[in-house]
Structure 1
Amino acid sequence: MDREKANYYAIIPASVRFDNRLKANEKLLYGEITASSNKTGECWASNAYFSELYEVSKVTISNWVNNLIKYGYINSNYVYRENTKQIEKRVLTINQVPHKENINTYKRNDLEGGE
């Protein structure tokens, strides 16, 4: 992935932003995955790419990705080399994130700010 060419926007829905189970950088990584997915619906960026981007270890990125998977925000699938069990690439996709009542989110008063 080339940062010079990455000009897509990131989306971080309220259910992710206010999920207290996620660390701030996991939320930021979620946004980066949405930005990388905007064109095709899939993110093929490796842990090495994200590691360089955020200046953290690949193990840290792996932990962040695993937490996003654990809490149902993304899916991870592998593409294997033909007729082998060797991984060619990982593909991350964004799950549709419904509003969850059990996540601490700021509640908006329906009468507030409207006419």
Structure 2
Amino acid sequence: MTLERAFKGIWIPKEIWLNKELTLLEKVFFVEIDSLDNESGCFASNEYFSTFFDLSKNRCSEIIKSLEKKKMIRISYVYKENSKAIDKRIIRVLDKSNRGVRNLDRGTRNLEEGYSENCEDNNTYINNTSINSMYINKDDSLKEFSKLYEKNLGLINGIVAEWLVEMSETIDCKLFKRAIEIATEKSKCNLGYVKGIIRQWLDVNITTYEQLEAYQLQKKNQKEVKSNDRETKRRVQEESSENDRASEEARRAELLRRIRELDD
């Protein structure tokens, strides 16, 4: 099914953009659904949203269900004839008259709300400057995270912005920088690899660079202890072998002495 839009861009209403109950992903999902919610509703599948947002189908389904629970949208289903199998899903934005996508049939306008003059026909466009202003410029720590990301990994989109906000509230900037350095050293400086490094640290409750240093020192000491233990064990085994050889030689000498006594 071809999904059609009748607009020249999207406008995010103030009550949606500033809604503390919604995550950033829920906001961008909402405006995408709103842009596709025409007279018959939005028929976009999870596969469509998965491709559009570069997320898994399950994650897309979770976000849409969350919007439904928060009473932002209503979901209904059309079933195949004489069957319980779902033919299509219909998503409708609730209270659409008071919020949602503006139909800009008169071309682009410079709106105070942040509508971009660079919107193109038939493209869902979210102003990255607005995203950066809302999230990346939130505080000095977040600014440092964004600078490191843009310098080493690339441009920041809405999904990355949300992740950076989460990371800035979870780990310190020096630890984030170290993750990027490790990825660079291994010639794998991409978001997925950096996420993997940070995930490994979080699995052992490392959230600061100082904790990482302490953890690495502990590992080094443990390695040295194990090395020392192996060396001690080796020496004990060698000494034991030498003692065994000495005992065997003494036993043989005693046996030889007795044989000689019998011959005499």
Q: Does 1:74 align with 2:73?
A: yes
State the Cα distance separating 1:26 from its structure 2 match: 1.0
The CA distance in 2 between the partners of 1:84 and 1:11, in whole Å, is 40
Q: Does 1:35 align with 2:35?
A: yes
Partner of 1:25: 25
Partner of 1:110: none
Partner of 2:211: none
Task: Judge conservation of contact 1:10–1:34 (CA < 8 Å) in 2.
Answer: no
Task: Judge conservation of contact 1:22–1:67 (CA < 8 Å) in 2.
Answer: no
State the Cα distance separating 1:58 from its structure 2 match: 0.7
The CA distance in 1 between the partners of 2:66 and 2:31, in whole Å, is 14
State the 4+ residue runs in structure 1 displaced beyond 3 angstroms.
Answer: 9-12
Partner of 1:52: 51
2:34 maps to amino acid: T
Choose between structure 1 and 2: higher helix proportion.
Answer: 2
Partner of 1:13: 13
Task: Judge conservation of contact 1:76–1:91 (CA < 8 Å) in 2.
Answer: yes
State the Cα distance separating 1:83 from its structure 2 match: 1.4
Q: Which runs of 5+ in 2 are unaligned?
A: 100-264
State the Cα distance separating 1:11 from its structure 2 match: 4.5
Query: Larger Rg: 1 or 2?
Result: 2
Higher RCO by CA contacts (8 Å cutoff, separation 6 or greater): 1
Show CA shifts across 1:46-77 (max 9, x none).
01100000001011111110111011110000
State the Cα distance separating 1:16 from its structure 2 match: 2.1
Q: What secondary structure sits across from 2:82 in the alignment?
A: coil
1:13 maps to amino acid: P
Q: Which runs of 5+ in 1 are unaligned?
A: 100-115
Q: What secondary structure sits across from 1:45 in the alignment?
A: coil
Size of the aligned set, in residue pairs, is 97
Choose between structure 1 and 2: higher strand proportion.
Answer: 1
State the Cα distance separating 1:22 from its structure 2 match: 1.4
Q: What TM-score does the superposition give when structure 2 sets the normalisation length?
A: 0.34
The CA distance in 2 between the partners of 1:47 and 1:90, in whole Å, is 10
Partner of 1:62: 61
1:25 maps to amino acid: L
2:23 maps to amino acid: K
State the Cα distance separating 1:12 from its structure 2 match: 3.2
RMSD across aligned positions (CA): 2.3
Percent of matched pairs sharing the same residue: 31
Q: What secondary structure sits across from 2:52 in the alignment?
A: helix
